[in-house]
């Protein structure tokens, strides 16, 4: 072939110059696909699910203390039922692991005795036992608990821990994978496990002995229980006897006086 000027110069040069460009484009595309695939395996993919919101939520690294500064406001937003006349009283157990190490669950989550503020969803100690009590059955969720605690929580975030899958966050309930963890309704004797790190670095179904203890089948350290059919539950926040103060109860309850009403706080 000759050019338009009839010089006889071949036009092959144009064809040769496009081949390196095509190769570069294919190489760049292949590299992009590799990066996308690597990203999916490293926890960068954000799964769908509920992300809790509210004032005072902590986004730092564990362990986390109970956040009391904005507790009353968060409880108003949650609209949890009040305690005091419990006919519904259940427990769940929470374990959190970071790189294989157990993170302590804060005690007195939802119980700010300095302000006579008590949530019907709470803890008493650092065992991981979550107490739920109300005058009627209520669907407390795992997201409710972290909101009461004051820790950011969603399908790919726990405080300052972020990412999902791979060497990031994993969620289990009773030994089975849990999706959309913040929306999970807590049932009596649920065993919740949250792990950050390799999926093999933490147990998916740790011992639930403490749930047996809190249900009154051994020991008295955790002296409250869920209600048998047709009977009233023993409140974890109420004293066992007049003049005896149970851990997490307020001074007004310990003295046998009627606790103050927290209008709109629960």
Phi, psi for 259 (deg, rounded to 5): -70, 150
CA distances from 17 to 12, 141, 214 (A): 9, 63, 77
CA distances from 237 to 114, 118, 219, 241 (A): 15, 8, 18, 12
pLDDT score of 215 = 79
Q: How is residue 202 written in tokens?
A: 């933490």
Q: Residue 157 and residue 150: Cα distance in Å, rounded?
A: 13
Instruction: Report the predicted TM-score, pTM, of the whole model to 2 decimal places.
Output: 0.70
Which band of pLDDT confidence, cut at 50, 70 and 90, is reported for residue 152? very high
Identify which of 44, 54, 234, 12 has the alpha carbon closest to the alpha carbon of residue 145: 54
Q: Quick one: what percent of the chain has pLDDT higher than 70?
A: 64
Query: Structural domain boundaries of the chain?
Result: 71-254
Region 114-125 average pLDDT: 96
What integer best gives the mean pLDDT of the chain? 77
What is the chain's alpha carbon radius of gyration, rounded to the nearest angstrom? 28
Q: How confident is the model over 210-245, as pLDDT tens digits?
A: 999 887 743 334 545 444 444 554 555 443 333 333
User: Which residue in this structure is represented by tokens 């002995």?
Assistant: 209
Q: How confident is the model over 5-58, as pLDDT tens digits?
A: 555 544 444 444 444 444 444 444 444 333 333 344 444 567 899 999 999 999
Q: Residue 215 and residue 91: Cα distance in Å, rounded?
A: 8
pLDDT score of 87 = 87
User: Which strand (E) or helix (H) includes residue 252?
Assistant: helix 251-254
Q: Does residue 264 carry a pLDDT above 70?
A: no
pLDDT score of 224 = 53
Query: Which residues are CB-contacts of 160 (< 8 A; sequence separation ≥ 6)?
Result: 59, 60, 61, 62
Report which of residues 139 and 30 the model is more confident about: 139
Q: Tell me how crowded residue 215 is: count the other CB atoms within 10 A of its CB.
A: 16
DSSP per-residue codes, 40-62: HHTT-S---------TT-B-SPS
Q: Does residue 74 carry a pLDDT above 90?
A: yes
pLDDT score of 246 = 36
pLDDT score of 91 = 97
Q: Does residue 72 carry a pLDDT above 50?
A: yes
pLDDT score of 45 = 65
């Amino acid at each position: 072939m000759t050019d338009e000027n009839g010089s006889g110069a071949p036009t092959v040069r144009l064809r040769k110059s496009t081949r390196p460009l095509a190769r570069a484009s294919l190489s760049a595309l292949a590299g992009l696909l590799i990066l996308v695939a690597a990203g999916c395996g490293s926890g960068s993919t954000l799964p769908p699910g509920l992300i809790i919101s509210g004032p005072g939520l902590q986004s730092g690294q564990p362990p986390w203390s109970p956040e009391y500064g904005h507790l009353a406001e968060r409880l108003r937003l949650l609209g949890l039922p009040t305690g005091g006349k419990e006919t519904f009283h259940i427990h769940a157990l929470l374990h959190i692991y970071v790189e294989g190490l157990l993170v302590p669950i804060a005690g007195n989550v939802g119980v700010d005795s300095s302000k006579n503020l008590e949530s019907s969803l709470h803890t008493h100690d650092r065992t991981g036992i979550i107490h739920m009590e109300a005058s009627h059955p209520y669907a407390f969720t795992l997201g409710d608990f972290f909101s009461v605690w004051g820790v950011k929580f969603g399908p790919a975030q726990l405080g300052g821990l972020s990412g999902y899958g791979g060497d990031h966050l994993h969620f289990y309930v009773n030994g089975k994978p849990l999706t959309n963890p913040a929306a999970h309704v807590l049932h009596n004797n649920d065993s919740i496990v949250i792990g950050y790190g390799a999926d093999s670095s933490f147990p998916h179904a740790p011992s639930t002995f403490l749930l047996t203890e809190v249900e009154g089948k051994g020991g008295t350290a955790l002296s409250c229980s869920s209600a048998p059919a047709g009977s009233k539950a023993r409140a974890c926040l109420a004293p066992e006897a007049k003049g005896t103060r149970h851990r997490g109860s307020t001074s007004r309850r310990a003295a046998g006086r009627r606790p103050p009403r927290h209008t709109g706080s629960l």
